[in-house]
Amino acid sequence: CEKYEPIETSVSLEVDSVQVHALTNLTVSWGEGCRDGAGSFELHDADVGFTVTGTTLRGTSSMDITIDPLDVSSFALSALTLSYENVTDIRCNVNKEPVKECLDALSIVKTEEYKLLLQDLISSLLSRLNRPISKFFRRGLLSHASGSVGAALL
């Protein structure tokens, strides 16, 4: 058998928790041509972080595979969902002092409304993801491995 069409795939990745931490130092300068003239702004020791618990990423796709020569075509990502239980340990500090506006903004990700909006965004991006992923399969992944992968699949 040298051709499989279509192959239906379903992948689920579940992670107990994901920790995000960013420490930033920033200097922004602007010239005389700006509205209030030249100036600058500095931000030191900006510490932002949070933990996402109960994270699940699920995807469903289909593709056609030819073994010899190895080729993947007709790739289509038909579903992609991202879900999480909670966001905890939210930090947003500058010079070790909490910044209320930043903490408020980060706390939005804990709401059900945000989770629904995020899923709507992911769903709307599906059609845009299929084209570059398909190109990746055709150009990058398979161009270097056709002999060994094809032999392994036979």
What pLDDT shows up at residue 138?
67
Q: Are strands 86-94 and 71-83 parallel, antiparallel or unpaired?
A: unpaired
Q: Rounded to whole angstroms, how far apart are CA atoms 100 and 98?
A: 6
Residue 1 pLDDT: 66
For the chain, which residues score pLDDT lower than 50?
144, 146-154
* pLDDT value, residue 11: 85
pLDDT score at 128: 82
CA atoms within 13 A on the CB side of 69: 6
